């Protein structure tokens, strides 16, 4: 799950620049993957802490700050998605997927049109 969350996050960053709806959906999927990864780690973890003697120190397995940061980050992404859905439902019309990509298509069409070198007044 944690290896799937990173590419999903990268896609959400890219899609947030093109279509906010798809970016928000992928951001929520990223948060869901992080939460599922935390749940799986807690459920399969050994209840007795593993103690590994290592040179001058002792390594132990415990739920450290990184675990709680991932869990907190997943919850924040879930809350952001719910805020986006609420905002989208209350304040805007329902946008179709075509409207998300419409500006990109329009800018591509305008860039492919040939440029006029002379104005119509100078050709008389």
Q: Rounded distance, CA 3 to CA 54, Å?
A: 28
Asked whether residue 107 is domain-assigned, the answer is no
pTM check: above 0.75: no
Asked whether residue 114 is domain-assigned, the answer is no
21 occurs within a structural domain = yes
Task: Decide if 78 is inside a domain.
Answer: yes
The domain total for the chain is 1
Collapsed DSSP state (helix, strand, coil) of residue 54: strand
Question: What does the block give as tokens for 110?
Answer: 């305008």
- pLDDT per residue over 30-75, tens digit each? 888 889 988 998 888 877 878 888 888 888 877 888 889 988 988 9
pLDDT digits (tens, 9 = 90+) for 88-105: 666 665 555 555 545 555
**Does residue 10 belong to any structural domain of this protein?**
yes
Q: Which domain holds residue 88?
A: 1-47+66-94
Q: Is residue 61 a contact partner of residue 47, using CB atoms and an 8 Å limit?
A: no
């Amino acid at each position: 799950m944690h290896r799937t969350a990173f590419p999903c996050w990268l896609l959400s960053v890219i899609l947030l620049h093109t279509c906010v709806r798809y970016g928000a959906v992928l951001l929520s999927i990223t948060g869901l993957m992080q939460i599922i990864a935390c749940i799986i780690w807690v459920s399969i973890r050994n209840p007795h802490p593993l103690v590994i003697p290592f040179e001058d120190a002792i390594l132990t397995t415990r739920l450290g700050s990184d675990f709680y940061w991932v869990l907190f980050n997943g919850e924040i992404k879930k809350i952001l998605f719910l805020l986006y859905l609420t905002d989208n439902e209350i304040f805007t019309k329902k946008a179709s997927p075509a409207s998300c990509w419409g500006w990109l298509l329009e800018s591509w069409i305008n860039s492919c049109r040939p440029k006029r070198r002379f104005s119509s007044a100078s050709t008389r």
